[in-house]
Structure 1
Amino acid sequence: KVTNAAAQLGLGPFDNGTREDLIKANPDIIIIPSVAYTSDGTTPATAEQLYSDPALQGVKAIANRRVFFVDSSQVMTYSQFMTRAMVSMAQNIYSK
């Protein structure tokens, strides 16, 4: 079963969560857009930044190295390309 941990924390589709949110959610998998479209111009963390963050070492996705990126152009648009993002996410979620 796949659940949206960000939504369970009350975050909206375009909200940025904090490190504290990530620790609280303790997800099995983290999926990050390849490019962030934020008003403050921040960019998403790289997997290596997350893996090396001492505060996140107890998070299951970090401990098991299950951080994946999805092409932003495929998920931030309403087009046929969204199916590519769905396939990519499914492959990452269900791969062992």
Structure 2
Amino acid sequence: IPLKLPQKVSAEQILAIKPDLVIVQENSNTAFIQSLKDVGLKVYITKIPTTLDMVRKRIIKLSEAVNEKKQGSIVIKELDKKTTFVKEVTDTISVSDKKILMGYSLLGVFGSAEGLFNDICINAGVTNGAALACLVRGEHLSKEKIVEVDPDVLMFSDYSSTQEGDTVLFRKEVLSDPALQSIKAIKNNNIIIIKDRYRYAASQYIGDGILDIAQKTYPEYFKKNKK
């Protein structure tokens, strides 16, 4: 992509590149959306997906909006191939072998029951520990709650913000925390790392996120079911 706009961009800057269509999420500033319309731009507003099914529907709608319905079908087919494969494998796992996974960002445990990550977990065949602990969106989970849930797996992302390797330091901090040494994930060294973009993959890449989490949580099952 030769031209990349900054994260904070004005309607005039967008107008200058003469786009055929501007796609925005419904949580975008309403005044900004109106300013796009006021300068004569065609605007397509999408819902914020919180489930795999919503992501699928958004892909289909967007493919229709840009007159690429055939290409949209190809993308959906590839997505469904990955999620179907994961379901086929995880359906063979007994209830007693299913894992509770707790995901960490640099701000702490994340993944409320209402969010997209929770549905990613469901489709990956794992129980989202944050939802189990009734984490409220925007709030933090106490160490007492983490110990109470006792997750089988801790998941970290490879995200790095201001310092090189800050996720590595953060991960060491969590794993060496005296208050968390009793949980199964730390006792069994059951730690997985995923690409940060998979945490809230609201595009076709949600399939890659689901597959990656499932394969890393249940490696022994996926070794037996290679495709």
Q: Is TM-score (shorter-chain normalized) higher than 0.5? A: yes
More helix by share: 2
Q: Which has the higher contact order (CA 8 A, sep 6+)?
A: 1
Structure 1 residue 6 corresponds to structure 2 residue 130 = yes
d(CA) in 1 for partners of 2:203, 2:189: 31
Structure 1 residue 78 corresponds to structure 2 residue 78 = no
Give the SS at the match of 1:32. strand
Q: Any idea what the Cα deviations from partners look like across 1:1-29, whole Å, max 9, x if unmatched? A: 33222111111465432322211111111
d(CA) in 1 for partners of 2:173, 2:130: 20
Structure 1 residue 51 corresponds to structure 2 residue 175 = yes
Answer yes or no: is the 8 Å Cα contact 2:201–2:209 preserved in 1. Answer: no
Compute the RMSD of aligned alpha carbons: 2.4
More strand by share: 2
What residue ranges of structure 2 are gaps of 5+ in the alignment?
1-97, 99-125, 161-165, 221-227
Look up the equivalent residue of 1:27 and give its one-letter code.
P
Superposed counterparts of 1:1-96, under 5 Å: 1=98, 2-12=126-136, 15-35=139-159, 45-46=170-171, 48-96=172-220
Structure with the greater alpha carbon radius of gyration: 2
**In the superposition, relative to structure 1, how do residues 75 and 51 fare at CA in structure 2: closer, same or farther (>3 Å)?**
closer
What residue ranges of structure 1 are gaps of 5+ in the alignment?
37-42
**Please, what TM-score do these two structures have when normalized by structure 2?**
0.35
